[in-house]
Structure formats: C-alpha cells, structure tokens
Structure 1
Amino acid sequence: MSSTRSTAAPSPGPAGPMQTLEATFRALTRGPRPLSLPAEVVGSVMEVAPGRRRVPLDRIRAQLRGERAQAVAEVVWPELIRRAQRPHARQWMVAAAAMAAPSLRRLIARRSWRGLVERADLEQEMLGAFLQTLLSADPDDPRAYHGLRRAADLAAYHLIEDARRHAHNTVALADAEHPEPATAPGAESVTVPGPDETSGPGVLERAVRAQVVTAEEAELIAVTRVDGVAVRVLTGGHPARMRAAYRRRRAAEHRLRKAIEAESI
C-alpha cells in the first residue's frame, strides 16, 4: 500500500511597504477607469495613440527609465505634485510614491544597511519622508522631484547611521565592561546568536523571569521579530518614538545574546 505525503508550501512573509505600494498602484491603474493623466499633458514627451484622451500612470511610469526619461519627468512630476496636494487626494499621493518607487529602490541598493536595519523599516522611513515632503513641495520648482528623492535618501541615511552608531556604542561598552580574552591564532571563532535565535517565546519568557529583559522589552521583540510588525507601524510612524524603539530593542537583544552565551537563561 503506497501513501502520498503532501508538503504544504511555506507561507510567504508579510508584504513589505514597497510591495504593498506596488499592489495598490496596480489596482489604481487597472480596470475600466485607471488613474491617468490627460493626453495633452504628456503628448509632447511620449507617444500617445491617436484618439486617446488619457494615459494610465503605469504606462507613463515605464517611460521614466527610457531614453526620454528626463523630459517625461519634467512634464509629469509637476502635475503629480499638484494633484497630490489637492484636498482628499490620497490616491494621488499613493500614485506619486509608486511612480517614484523604482528610483527609491535604487537608492536603497546603493546603501549599506543589511545587519543594521530591517528593509521594511527602511522602506517605511523613506516613503514617509517622501510623502511628507510631497505635501509642501513647490510644483513650479523644476527640481521639486529631486527634492523628494533627496528627502527619502536622507531619511534612509539617518536611520542607518543611527543604527550604526548604536551598534558601535553597544559593542564598545560591552568590550569595556567585559574584555574578551586573547584568542590564539587559528582558534575557532564564536558565532553570536542572531535575532531568530534569541526571540522565541520560550526564550523571552525565561529572560523576563531572569530579569535579563523587562516584560515591555520582551513584548517589543516578540511583536516586531516574531509577529513581523514593523517598528514604524508599532510607533505610529513618529520618528523619535521609532528611534527609541530601535534603541530599546537592540539593547534588549544584546543582553539576550549575552545571557544565552553565558547559559544563564
């Protein structure tokens, strides 16, 4: 008698901010009434089929990386900024961010952020800065779009550098308080457990009982590391609260690693 064993496909992780933005953009630019711009606005910089009165934004976005990208951007972005600044223009704000998303992804790729911040938090920080700057941008300024990109890039820079400084200070403090013994040449190095190894529910419960972390710190780690809730969502997107949450989580995880290495929990 033969049996067939079925293997369930692994469930995908939560969608990141850019993925969610892209899905929303696709919904806005599909169907019988896609979000679009009048043909007379873009007709001078891109080919428009005869008789077409409006051009969907996804088709316009495709032109922002072509040979005439600069000319298209100079025409399109003032119009996008004006529409996004109108009252009750949430869909145009989403559209503007989605139109810039490919460029923002390239900015992320240029920065060294892995091991310091989570990509989802980095994307949220950049999109938040982009949208906040969008509300006050001058659509008549020919460099307005560059200002939006610069704001997003600076937000990424500050988030990464804050994380880098904190990591450096934490290591320096730990080294000062607990100097490592000299290691003989060729000795095997010790791998410090990462977040996945220090954030299991059982580990956190034992750490709270041992007073390695507080109940609030354990909750922060569980919600953001285990449940996958972005720090930005947890703190309502407030920059100061976000930075404080990152600092609390890193300090708590550092104590967790030390306790696990010492086998005290």
Structure 2
Amino acid sequence: MAATTLPLKSLKKTFDLLRIDPQHLYLAVPATDAAPESVMDLNEITELLWDVETDAAIANNIWAEIVRQTRTKNSGWTVVACGLAGPALMSKAGMLKACFPGADTAEVQAEMVEGFLIALRTIDLDDAGIESVAGALANKAFNMARIPYREAAGDMADLSADGLVSGPPCFPVGHPDIVLARAVRAGVITAEEAEYIGRTRLEERNLADVGAELKVATTTLFDRRAAAEARLVEALASGAI
C-alpha cells in the first residue's frame, strides 16, 4: 500500500517547482515609508520573507500584496502563499499534533492548509492591530484547524486535582492551550510565558494591549515571548513535551 503523501510536503514540492521555473511569478509591491515601489520575482520574495532580519513593515507590505493576489483568479499566488507559509504551518501542525497525539498527521496537515486558505480569504488587511500579516495568517490557520479536534475531544473536560486534564482535550476557554500547559508542567516555559503566548498567539490579541493589561513593557513582552517560543519549539521538536 502506497504511503500517504503529506499535504504540506506536497505543497512544498509544488512551491519548489515554481521557484525553479524560468517563467517566474512577479509581484509589484507598493511603496511604503520603509521601501520604494518595486517589482520582485518569486525567489527575491522568498529570500526576503524567510530572512529574519527583514524589516517587519517591508515583510507585511509584501505579504499584504500576496494576499490580495490570492483573491484574484490567479491560483499560482495561492500556492506561493502556502509555500511561503510552509515552515510556519509545519510548526503549527506539530503543535496541534502535540495537543492531540492520536490525530492522523495527514489529516492535521490538511486541516492546517484548509485553515490557511480560509485565513487568506478572511484576514482584514486594514486591521491596524495586526503586527505581522504572516503571523496572523498562521495563527488563524491553527485556530481553524484545531476546531474539529477540540469539538471531538470536548473543550470543557474536567480538570484533575493537580490542574491537568486526563486526556488530549484542551483546557476550558480562558486558559492556555494544552500544549502550553504541558510545557509549563515540564518546566520548559513559565505560567506567565504561557499566558503571553496564549493571549497574543492563540487569541490573536495585540501585543501592546496585552502588555498594558499585564503591566509589562511591549518590548519586554516581545523579548520574553520570543525566548519562550524558542524553548517551546525546541521542546516540541525533541519530543520533550
């Protein structure tokens, strides 16, 4: 019996083919305060968006234009968007699988892709509260993808005496997701760090607003969240949680 082709792996292959095709897709990127108007080919776009040193305003401007292109009849840009978001979607799929270990990997990835496609259609590019277009898209995809698993498991599972659930269900609304709770239990992140991630990533709250509520400077909150997420990703990759 042939092995199941994982959706994100299949998308990556298609994206890689687009990158080596001599007839590249070109994107006209509007001017911003951070950069002049420009025309970029797919490889230039990829290098910029995958470079962590790229200015956030420039990255957001490129991503916004890509989202607009996906809303036209050119399906190639939808593949491009999925390919560019591939690493983030793979990470989110791993997090979802960690929440629900019994879930089928191919199905989890398929749900993640479907969630991302919905995010491309519904994200409000005029929302001033969005700090990162790419991050908002990935978070929306994750939130959409986990809906059927949360419904199947039951969001309102009873808590045990030590605050843990007995199986894969997530904590009730208002608490961090189960994977964050496991990370806290394992000592990978603190409860405060789980709160930062839960509010700004899973609930898609504005970082400055959350910082104001918690009485933490935005820059400090950003640095603490980044450090916590780095430890969380490493723990997930190693199987520590």
Q: TM-score, normalising length from structure 1? A: 0.48
Q: Offset at 1:12?
A: 6.9
* Conservation of the 8 A alpha-carbon contact between 2:118 and 2:141: no
Structure 1 match to 2:148: 159
Flag the 1:26–1:54 CA change in 2: closer, same or farther, 3 A.
farther
| Partner amino acid, structure 2, of 1:150 | N
Cα distance in 2 for partners of 1:122, 1:162 equals 14
Please state if 1:123 is matched with 2:112: no
Say whether 1:68 aligns with 2:20: no
Match of 1:132 in 2: 118
Counterpart residue identity of residue 140, structure 1: D
Q: Distance in 2 between matches of 1:28 and 1:158?
A: 32
CA contact (8 A) 2:115 2:140 kept: yes
> Of residues 24, 37, 46 in structure 1, which corresponds to 2:27?
37
Tell me the alpha carbon deviations over residues 202-231 of structure 1, each in whole angstroms, 9 at most, x when there is no partner.
xxxxxxxxxxxxxxxxxxxxxxxxxxxxxx
CA shift digits 1:77-131 (9 cap, x unpaired): 1110111111x22111121121111111222233414632111111111111211
Residue 110 of structure 2 aligns with an amino acid whose one-letter code is Q
The equivalent of 1:92 in structure 2 is 77
Q: Structure 2 residue aligned with 1:109, among 82, 85, 94?
A: 94
* In structure 1, C-alpha distance between the alignment counterparts of 2:55 and 2:7, rounded to whole Å: 25
CA distance in 2, matches of 1:41, 1:20: 34
Give the equivalent residue in structure 1 for 2:139.
150
Q: Aligned pairs, how many?
A: 151
* Counterpart in the other structure of 2:5: 15
Aligned to 1:238: none
Alpha carbons 2:116, 2:141 under 8 Å: kept: yes
Q: What secondary structure does 1:157 align onto?
A: helix
Q: Give the structure with higher Rg (CA).
A: 1
SS of the residue corresponding to residue 150 of structure 1 reads helix
Label 1:45 to 1:101 Cα distance change in 2 as closer, same or farther (>3 A): farther
TM-score by length of 2: 0.52
Q: State the distance in 2 between where 1:160 and 1:116 align.
A: 10
- Deviation, structure 1 residue 55: 2.9
Q: Does residue 57 of structure 1 match 2:42? A: yes
Q: Matches of residues 181-196 of structure 1 in structure 2 within 5 Å?
A: none
Residue type of the alignment partner of 2:107? D
Q: Which whole-Å deviations, capped at 9, do the CAs of 1:231-254 have from their partners, x for residues lacking one?
A: xxxxxxxxxxxxxxxxxxxxxxxx
Is the contact made by 1:77 and 1:145 (CA closer than 8 Å) also made in structure 2?
A: yes
Q: C-alpha separation between the residues in 2 aligned to 1:165 and 1:114?
A: 12
Unaligned runs of 5+ in 1: 1-10, 47-52, 173-265
CA change 1:69–1:161 in 2 (3 A) is: farther
For the structure 1 residues 109 and 32, does the alpha-carbon distance in structure 2 shift closer, same or farther, using more than 3 Å as the test? same
Partner Cα distance (1:34, 1:116) in 2 = 40
Distance 1:150 1:27, change over 3 A: same
**Runs of 4+ in structure 1 displaced over 3 angstroms?**
38-42, 138-142, 144-147, 162-166
**1:26 shift after superposition:** 1.5
| Pair 1:26-2:16 in alignment | yes
Residue in 2 that maps onto 1:225: none
The answer as to whether partners of 2:69 and 2:77 remain within 8 angstroms in 1 is: yes
Residues 116, 163 of structure 1: 8 Å contact kept: no
Structure 2 residues without counterparts, runs of 5 or longer: 158-165, 167-241
Correspondence 1:225-240 to 2 at 5 A: none
Q: Secondary structure at the match of 1:55?
A: strand
Question: Which letter does structure 2 place at the counterpart of 1:73?
Answer: A
Alignment-mate amino acid for residue 9 of structure 2: Q
